[in-house]
């Protein structure tokens, strides 16, 4: 919701859903630009602001938008009530800026719904057990929506975005990309964690865990969108569901770590919620460990800081390759489908791309290449693997 | 606190107080302009926005400023923690936009203070018994400060404002006005409710009720300021403490009300927290009631709406005079001091001002005149009553 006009449009859309006979809980995020404005203020004070206070600050953005949307509905004669995380009872852990939802209270929600109120819930935020405000990180409002839908056992959790569904690939990169009417939850999970920015992986994880029927729709021209399906829903699963691209990747190689340091490093990653991908670990006969993994460039400084700290205990080497891109092919049973693997390697050879790494898991095959080559690889592989489907 | 720079300056000031050996709770209001920005957004949606949602919206302003001030302190190596009304436990009634504080929790405050934390508390806001956000109305942050000081039995509640204390009169109107080093609580109460805008009357009421030692200081050049004193503090009380001016006043006269309607009207005023002043009620032999009172022009529409509603039950007349100003002389024992009363009426005669109404209470003498004449009257009376003191 970018502007007061946009809020009015959202209000109209909510009223349509109410008129269709539904009880509605709307989860909203901050107005466009508001979060950045707030972070800008924080960075004027301190370039590494205290995370507890950063969450206190950032959460105010949603407080503004829920109040405005409730006002717009009330003005139209529809009783609405805005609720903050603590008023709903959204309990999270205390990892500020990256908190995870532990539980959702439903008492107040049902009470308001049963009184015929439209509930406008603040997305992106929660409270820890001590009552501190936490935020859920990127895509946090989606996670809130899924969590509330799960808690209320909602018929559907509709996520309104700026695209009209999940695509076989980013249509800005590949003109042949097509909208998927359905996507299985596992593939969605991989796609989301791999840079298909429509849904954040954490919200998809939460949805999969609670089997929430999530539908991704366009805010501007809502249509069928894409429905995330679970095992019990009958559908034919294509071998390749879709492709996802990620830029700003780094490939790291650590050599000659003791196994103690290796474990210490992984624990630090867990504590700081640093996400690695394509992790490969090898043990040398000496017992020393080699680790390779891809990483988002934004996390590189943190990882280097951790390594420099650990090197004080035992020296090891760290090499990084920057400015890389990652293309991931997602689909059920990829690993056991040699036709796909063969097609991929054949294409890579034809393109004469310098491949940094390839890894293949049950439903995902990822290829790391120089960032500049990423789109070329993506378009060629989409055409080779999915081109004939459309 | 207008800007990030200003927040940094406040942080430095807080640290000075900490270095002087005090445990500090800082109550802050929204950044300058922020509340107006938020209200502007609301009015783009609805020109009479729902008050519950308006409070939800407005309270976000303080959330931003407490987080930023806490960040600024933490950056300087001083552990600080920002707390919202619900985290402190500020319970209010449910009169949105004009709520009154019912109780203040101290457990979390003491817990943080004892851990050596500086507490940054959100002013202006509370929660009602159902957990809804309420705001305290104009001057709300002062009230919060006084309420927290009372709950914690603080040594002093320092209110930083844009002036360096309470003056014998608004120095912009009267050049002879002087700063009062002390003011007794009763006079302060009258001055505050009469347009000496330094402190809002509600905060002074709260202070008087709990005998909180309040000191009014300038944020820019903190000095001794003005200390609000209570009976047990030894000080010589001058006959006239100070003068206060209010513009935008209306004088209302209601005639031929039945006593039922009269009571109904007063109840409506109470319900909507409409403040009248100089109320005079007279009973005609018929039993019908005449009411006269002054009112802030902003409340006139509401009062007229109420009266039009009540007229449906029994007709009565309502006359209003607008564009008036009120000068109030405040001091202990005014009513029983004929010298002062005589001086006042003599001056009014000399000035040949058209006086609309005069009323005299124990510690306050108010004179309603046309707004255009107000400053002339104020300067003349200040000079006649206090001119020789300075």
Residue B384 touches partner A, C-beta closer than 8 Å: no
CA distance linking residue A259 with residue A63, whole number of Å: 47
On whether residue B85 sits in a domain, the answer given is: yes
Asked whether the beta carbons of residue A38 and residue B64 sit closer than 8 angstroms, the reply is yes
Q: State the pLDDT at residue B237.
A: 57
Spatial neighbors of B66 by CB under 8 A, at least 6 apart, are A56, B28, B82, B83, B84, B120, B121, B122
More confident residue, B177 or B324: B324
Nearest CB among A41, A59, A82 relative to B4 is that of A41
**Would you state the torsion angle of the CA atoms of residues B70, B72, B76, B81, taken in this order, to the nearest 10 degrees?**
0
Q: What is the pLDDT of residues B99-110, one digit of tens each?
A: 999 999 999 999
Contact between A323 and A370 under an 8 Å Cβ cutoff? The reply is yes
CA distance linking residue A179 with residue A157, whole number of Å: 19
Q: What is the pLDDT of residues A100-111, one digit of tens each?
A: 999 999 999 999
Q: State the pLDDT at residue B79.
A: 97
- A300: tokens are 């590189």
CA distance linking residue B244 with residue B378, whole number of Å: 8
pLDDT tens by residue, chain A, 390 residues: 778 888 999 999 999 999 999 999 999 999 988 989 999 999 999 999 999 999 999 999 999 999 999 999 999 999 999 999 999 999 999 999 999 999 999 999 999 999 999 999 999 999 999 999 999 988 899 999 999 999 999 999 999 988 888 888 888 888 888 998 988 888 888 887 665 667 877 888 889 889 999 999 988 877 889 999 886 554 555 678 889 999 999 999 999 999 889 989 998 888 888 888 888 888 888 889 899 999 999 999 999 999 999 999 999 999 999 999 999 999 877 777 778 888 888 899 999 998 998 888 778 889 999 999 999 999 999 999 988 544
Asked whether the beta carbons of residue B71 and residue A42 sit closer than 8 angstroms, the reply is yes
Q: State the pLDDT at residue A223.
A: 80
Q: State the pLDDT at residue A333.
A: 73
Q: State the pLDDT at residue A196.
A: 60
- For B51, counting Cβ atoms within 10 Å of its Cβ (0-12 exposed, 13-18 middle, 19+ buried), the class is middle
On whether residue B142 sits in a domain, the answer given is: yes
- β-pairing, A101-104 with A90-92? antiparallel
Contact between A203 and A143 under an 8 Å Cβ cutoff? The reply is yes
Mean pLDDT of B183-209: 80
What CATH number does residue A39 fall under?
3.40.1160.10
Q: What is the pLDDT of residues B59-91, one digit of tens each?
A: 999 999 999 999 999 999 999 999 999 999 999
Contact between A246 and A194 under an 8 Å Cβ cutoff? The reply is yes
**C-alpha closest to that of B192 among B238, B126, B146:** B146
If one counts every other C-beta atom within 10 angstroms of the C-beta of residue A101, the result is 23
- For B300, counting Cβ atoms within 10 Å of its Cβ (0-12 exposed, 13-18 middle, 19+ buried), the class is middle
Q: State the pLDDT at residue A236.
A: 53
Asked whether the beta carbons of residue B8 and residue A45 sit closer than 8 angstroms, the reply is yes
**C-alpha closest to that of A363 among A212, A242, A246:** A242
**C-alpha closest to that of B120 among B158, B77, B152, B72:** B72
On whether residue A22 sits in a domain, the answer given is: yes
On whether residue A20 sits in a domain, the answer given is: yes
Residue B1 touches partner A, C-beta closer than 8 Å: no
What domain count does chain A have? 1
CA distance linking residue A330 with residue A332, whole number of Å: 7
- β-pairing, A226-229 with A182-184? parallel
Spatial neighbors of A168 by CB under 8 A, at least 6 apart, are A177, A178, A179, A180, A241, A242, A243, A382, A386, A389, A390
The three-class DSSP label of residue B276 is strand
Q: In B, which residues are within 8 Å of A7 by CB distance?
A: 45
pLDDT exceeds 70 at position B344: yes
CA distance linking residue A376 with residue A204, whole number of Å: 28
On whether residue B147 sits in a domain, the answer given is: yes
- B200: tokens are 């809002």
CA distance linking residue B351 with residue B358, whole number of Å: 15
A vs B, Cβ pairs < 8 A, gives 115
On whether residue A59 sits in a domain, the answer given is: yes
pLDDT exceeds 50 at position B389: no
Give the range among A55-64, A267-276, B43-52, B315-324 with minimum mean pLDDT: A267-276
Radius of gyration of chain B (CA): 22
Contact between B295 and B263 under an 8 Å Cβ cutoff? The reply is no
**C-alpha closest to that of A229 among A193, A182, A164, A160:** A182
Reported as half-sphere exposure (CB side, CA atoms, 13 A), residue B33 has a value of: 2
CA distance linking residue A12 with residue A8, whole number of Å: 6
Spatial neighbors of B153 by CB under 8 A, at least 6 apart, are none
Spatial neighbors of A361 by CB under 8 A, at least 6 apart, are A334, A335
Phi-psi region of A278 (alpha: psi -120 to 50; beta: other; left: phi over 0): left
On whether residue A374 sits in a domain, the answer given is: no
Residue B67 touches partner A, C-beta closer than 8 Å: yes
**C-alpha closest to that of A348 among A373, A319, A316:** A373
On whether residue A6 sits in a domain, the answer given is: yes
Provide the shortest C-alpha distance from residue B4 to chain A (in Å): 6
Contact between B365 and B326 under an 8 Å Cβ cutoff? The reply is no
| Enclosing domain of residue B73 | 4-232
If one counts every other C-beta atom within 10 angstroms of the C-beta of residue A144, the result is 28
CA-based nearest residue in chain B for residue A60: B60
- Whole-number Cα distances in Å, A377 to A247, A323, A344, B111, B286: 13, 15, 10, 58, 97
Size of chain A in residues: 390
Provide the shortest C-alpha distance from residue A238 to chain B (in Å): 47
**C-alpha closest to that of A53 among A62, A42, A61:** A42
CA distance linking residue A161 with residue A166, whole number of Å: 10
B238 — pLDDT class (breaks 50, 70, 90): low
Q: In A, which residues are within 8 Å of B74 by CB distance?
A: 46, 49-50, 53
Contact between B73 and B110 under an 8 Å Cβ cutoff? The reply is no
Show which of residues 139-198 on chain B sit within 8 Å of chain A, judged by CB atoms. Answer: none
B232 — pLDDT class (breaks 50, 70, 90): low
Q: In B, which residues are within 8 Å of A72 by CB distance?
A: 45-46
CA-based nearest residue in chain B for residue A9: B45
**C-alpha closest to that of B251 among B346, B358, B169:** B358
The three-class DSSP label of residue B168 is coil
Provide the shortest C-alpha distance from residue B29 to chain A (in Å): 14
Q: State the pLDDT at residue A193.
A: 67
B390 — pLDDT class (breaks 50, 70, 90): very low
């Amino acid at each position: 919701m970018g502007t007061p006009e946009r809020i009015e449009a959202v209000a109209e859309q909510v009223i349509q859903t109410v008129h269709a006979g539904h009880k509605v809980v709307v989860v909203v995020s901050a107005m466009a630009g508001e979060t950045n404005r707030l972070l800008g203020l924080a960075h004027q004070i301190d370039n590494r602001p205290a995370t507890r206070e950063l969450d206190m600050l950032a959460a105010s953005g949603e407080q503004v938008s829920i109040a405005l949307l409730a006002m717009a509905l009330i003005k139209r004669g529809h009783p609405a009530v805005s609720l903050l995380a603590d008023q709903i009872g959204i309990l999270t852990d205390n990892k500020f800026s990256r908190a995870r939802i532990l539980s959702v209270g439903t008492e107040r929600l049902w009470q308001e719904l049963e009184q015929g109120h439209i509930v406008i819930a603040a997305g992106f935020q929660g409270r820890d057990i001590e009552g501190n405000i936490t935020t859920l990180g990127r895509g946090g409002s989606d996670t809130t929506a899924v969590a509330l839908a799960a808690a209320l056992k909602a018929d559907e959790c509709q996520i309104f975005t700026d695209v009209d569904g999940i695509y076989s690939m980013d249509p800005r990169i590949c003109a042949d990309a097509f909208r998927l009417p359905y996507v299985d939850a596992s593939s969605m999970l991989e796609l989301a964690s791999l840079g298909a920015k429509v849904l954040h992986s954490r919200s998809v994880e939460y949805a999969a865990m609670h089997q929430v029927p999530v539908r991704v729709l366009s805010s501007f021209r809502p249509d069928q969108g894409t429905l995330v399906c679970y095992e019990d829903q009958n559908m034919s699963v294509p071998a390749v569901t879709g492709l996802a691209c990620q830029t700003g990747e780094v490939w790291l190689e650590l050599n000659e770590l003791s196994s103690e340091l290796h474990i210490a490093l992984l624990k630090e990653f867990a504590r700081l919620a640093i996400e690695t991908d394509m992790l490969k670990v090898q043990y040398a006969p000496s017992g020393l460990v080699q680790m390779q993994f891809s990483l988002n460039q934004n996390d590189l400084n943190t990882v280097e800081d951790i390594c420099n700290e650990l090197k004080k205990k035992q020296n090891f080497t760290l090499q990084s390759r920057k400015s890389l891109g990652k293309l991931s092919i997602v689909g059920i049973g990829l690993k056991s489908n040699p036709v796909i693997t063969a097609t991929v390697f054949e294409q890579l050879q034809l393109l004469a791309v310098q491949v940094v790494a390839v890894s293949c898991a049950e439903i995902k095959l990822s290829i790391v290449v120089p960032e500049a080559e990423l789109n070329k690889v993506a378009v060629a592989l989409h055409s080779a693997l999915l081109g004939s489907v459309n």
